[in-house]
Amino acid sequence: MNKQICLATNNKGKLREYREILAPMGFTIYSPADLNIDFDVDETGADYRENSLLKAKGLRKLVPFPVIADDSGLEILALDCFPGLHSSRFAESMGGYPKAYEEIFRRLEGKDRSARFRCCICYLENEDSKPLYFEGFCPGQILNAPHGTNGFGYDPIFHSEEADIDFGVASEETKNAVSHRAKALQKLKVFFAIG
Ligand code: IMP
């Protein structure tokens, strides 16, 4: 198996998380920036799988080795899994995360606050290979008000059931023990270990 992989992100936090798990297995994980590639893909897929595949295929054309791409979002159950696939775009459309939090609190008045983060990782060995998918979920509750500034995106309004902590005050290590991305990544790790 090729031990060099390019990860379809320029997010340093994600890159660190992937490297932490896969480097001990002998993998070298590059970002597009490491390879001087200017990488951007329109996330026009109908679900997380399609978006992760769009990113993986887009990147695989540009690099000489296998790629990993992921797509993730926050799903609020009482709002039919909103903002879901549009998590990032929703925050942008509101003029930033603090405004998005307010709008979510407004929509959730009197409703159940159960939610989950969700992540789908796509691994694509060659351009014409069958894509492989690995998914992870992180269940919790939407808080009544933002708490803390740790993490990113919707972390300040999310309480993790499994870690029993608000992500806005959780350390990276605590979050990575239960996060949707870490769980999907663990499944990928098992695939690499036995595959
Ligand atoms: P992407 O998978 O990098 O496209 O991220 C999608 C969006 O989902 C992010 O920009 C955030 O708004 C949200 N999101 C995904 N994972 C997390 C997380 O771990 N914490 C907070 N927000 C997240």
Note the pLDDT tens digit of each residue in 51-110.
Answer: 999 999 999 999 999 999 999 999 999 999 999 999 999 999 999 999 999 999 999 999
Calculate the average pLDDT of the chain. 94
- State whether the beta carbon of 101 lies less than 6 angstroms from ligand 1: no
Candidate from 12, 51, 87, 143 with most ligand 1 atoms within 8 A of CB, to mutate: 87
- How does DSSP classify residue 130? P
Residue 5 Cβ inside 6 Å of ligand 1? The answer reads no
Q: How far is the CA of 118 from the centre of ligand 1 (A)?
A: 9
The SS3 call for residue 176 is helix
Catalytic residue among 70, 71, 155, 166: 71
> Whole-angstrom Cα distance, residue 181 to residue 188?
10
pTM equals: 0.93
pLDDT in tens, 106-159: 999 999 999 999 999 999 999 999 999 999 999 999 999 999 999 899 999 999
Distance between CA atoms of residues 127 and 37, nearest Å = 17
Residue 166 annotated in active site: no
**pLDDT (0 to 100) of residue 25:** 87
Q: Give the pLDDT confidence score for residue 12 in this predicted structure.
A: 85
Ligand 1 atom index nearest CA of 70: 2
Amino acid symbol at 125 = E
Query: If you ran DSSP here, which 8-state letter would residue 131 be given?
Result: P
The answer to whether residues 168 and 146 touch, using CB atoms and an 8 Å cutoff, is yes
Q: Which one-letter DSSP state was computed for residue 146?
A: -
Q: 9, 40, 49, 74: which to mutate for ligand 1, most atoms within 8 A of CB?
A: 74
Whether 74 is in the pocket of ligand 1, judged by its Cβ within 6 Å, is yes
Is residue 48 predicted with pLDDT exceeding 80? yes
What is residue 65's three-state secondary structure? coil
Tell the residue nearest (CA) to atom 11 of ligand 1: 153
For the Cβ of 75 lying below 6 angstroms from any atom of ligand 1, the answer is no
Angle, alpha carbons 136-150-54 (nearest 5°)? 40
